[in-house]
Amino acid sequence: MVDLLRVERVLITLMPADQITRPLSPHIQIYRWSIAMAMSIAHRLSGLMLALGAGLVALWLFALADGGALYEAMQVGIGSGVGQGLGFLFLWAASHHALGGIRHLVQDTGRGFSLPAVQAMGWATLILAPLLALVAFWGLTR
Amino acid sequence: MSTDFVSPLAKARASGSARSGTGQFLIQRASAIALIPLLVFAGMVLADIVGASRVEALARLGHPVVAGLVALTMIIVAMHMRAGVQMVLEDYVQTPTLRALAALANLAFAIFVGPGAAVALLWIVLEARG
C-alpha cells in the first residue's frame, strides 16, 4: 500500500516551488453569475472564434485566387449542412462580438457604468445578437 | 540628471512598462470603429459571391475598388484580431518564453489574415484583368 503522504512529501522536496499544486479556493463554481460577467466571457470567446473564422476567410480567398482543388473542396464544404451551420454560428459570433464591442465603445466615453445600464446593455447584446445573425443569414442565403 | 527610474539592467531584461499599451488600446478601438461600416460592405460583397461560381466571384472581386476595400477590411480585421488575441495570451500564458512564442505565432497569423488576404485579392484582380 503506497503511503501517499510520504510520496507527496518526497515529491515536494524534488519539485521546483512553483510546480507544487496547492488546493485553490473555488471561484467560478461559487461566484454568483451576472449578465455582465457572462457577456464579458462571451465577448472574448466570440472574438477567438472570429479569429479562426478570419483565418478561414483568408484561406478561402487564396483558394479562390488559385482556383484549384482546394477552392472546389471549400465550396462544397460551405454548401453542406455542416458548412451552413458553422456559417450561421460564425455570423452569430460576429453579431455578438460587434454588439458587445459597441458596449465597450459606449463605456469608453464614460457612460453606461450604472448597474441598470450594464444589465440593459448585457441583455440587449445577448438577445439582439442571434436576431441580427438570423437577418444576416437570410440576407446571405437568399 | 537623468529622471529615468529604470536601471539599464532592468531595460536589458525588458522589465518595467512595455510603453506601448496605449497604442494597442487605440488600435483596438479605432479598428473596431472602422470595421463597423467596412464589415457591412464586405458582408454585402460576400453575399454576392458565396453561392456563385468562380467566374462570377472573380467578376465581383476583380473590380479594383471592391477588391481594395475588401483587402482593407481584412487588414483592419487582422490588426484588431492581433491586439485582441494578444490580450488573451497575456492573460492566460504564464511562462514568458511560451508567451513570446505565442505572440510571434499571433503575429504570423495576423500577417496571413491581413496582408496575406490582400495579396490573394491582388492576385484575383490581376487574373480578372486577363
List pLDDT tens digits, range B46-74.
Answer: 888 887 889 999 999 999 999 999 999 99
Place A65 in a pLDDT band, splitting at 50, 70 and 90: very high
User: For A16, how many CA atoms within 13 A lie in the half-sphere containing its CB?
Assistant: 2
Query: What does the pLDDT look like over A16-26, one tens digit per residue?
Result: 556 567 777 88
Residue B1 has pLDDT above 70, yes or no: no
Place B41 in a pLDDT band, splitting at 50, 70 and 90: very high
Place B87 in a pLDDT band, splitting at 50, 70 and 90: very high
**What are the cell numbers at B25?**
488600446
In this prediction, residue A18 carries a pLDDT of: 60
Q: How near does any CA of chain B get to the CA of A96, in Å?
A: 13
Closest to A119 in 3D by CA, of A60, A46, A55, A33: A33
In this prediction, residue A41 carries a pLDDT of: 94
Q: What does the pLDDT average to over A9-36?
A: 75
In this prediction, residue A16 carries a pLDDT of: 57
A140, A122 contact by CB (below 8 A): no
- SS3 string of chain A? CCCHHHHHHHHHHHCCHHHCCCCCCCCCCCCCCCHHHHHHHHHHHHHHHHHHHHHHHHHHHHHHHHCCHHHHHHHHHHHCHHHHHHHHHHHHHHHHHHHHHHHHHHHHCCCCCCHHHHHHHHHHHHHHHHHHHHHHHHHHHC
Q: What percent of chain B has pLDDT over 70?
A: 94
Residues B117, A58: C-beta atoms closer than 8 Å: yes
Residues B124, A61: C-beta atoms closer than 8 Å: yes
Q: What does the pLDDT average to over A23-31?
A: 82
Residues B117, A61: C-beta atoms closer than 8 Å: yes
Question: Pick from A44, A47, A55: which is nearest to B109 by CB?
Answer: A55
Residue A12 has pLDDT above 90, yes or no: no
Give the integer Cα–Cα distance in Å for A100 and A98: 5
Residue B2 has pLDDT above 80, yes or no: no
In this prediction, residue B6 carries a pLDDT of: 79
Rg value, chain A, Cα: 23
Measured between CB atoms, does B64 come within 8 Å of chain A?
Answer: no
Is pTM, for the whole model, over 0.90? no
